[in-house]
Amino acid sequence: MNPRQRNAAAYRPHAGDRVLDRRTGRTGIYMDTIGGEHYLRPESGGREWTADPTHVAPAPAPADDGPDSDPTGRPRRPARGRCRHLGGERAG
């Protein structure tokens, strides 16, 4: 650990914060700290993973991709055609 890291204030996320695991390069949602490890989960859901608190930092803001992205940063699915059996005539 270099002197700059030693003197830097430790980042302490709050539950629900979007964070970056610098060791893996993954972003996730901070859940809790148990046994000295941070528990993070993928933003889109899934299995939690643990990260050393010294490797966790605030995640950069997601890029604003314009009207085709939603607030979570995930691209929206393209609009699909209407199903025949939903609000239209039934086949058969």
Cα-Cα-Cα-Cα torsion 25, 27, 51, 53, nearest 10 degrees, comes to 100
Task: Please report how many Cα atoms fall inside a 13 Å half-sphere around the Cα of residue 38, on the Cβ side.
Answer: 27
Render pLDDT for 34-70 as a digit per residue (tens, 0 to 9). 999 999 999 999 999 999 999 999 999 877 655 555 5
10 CA to centre of own chain: 21
> Which of 83-91's residues contact partners 24+ apart within 8 Å by CB, and which partners?
none
Whole-model pTM: value is: 0.60
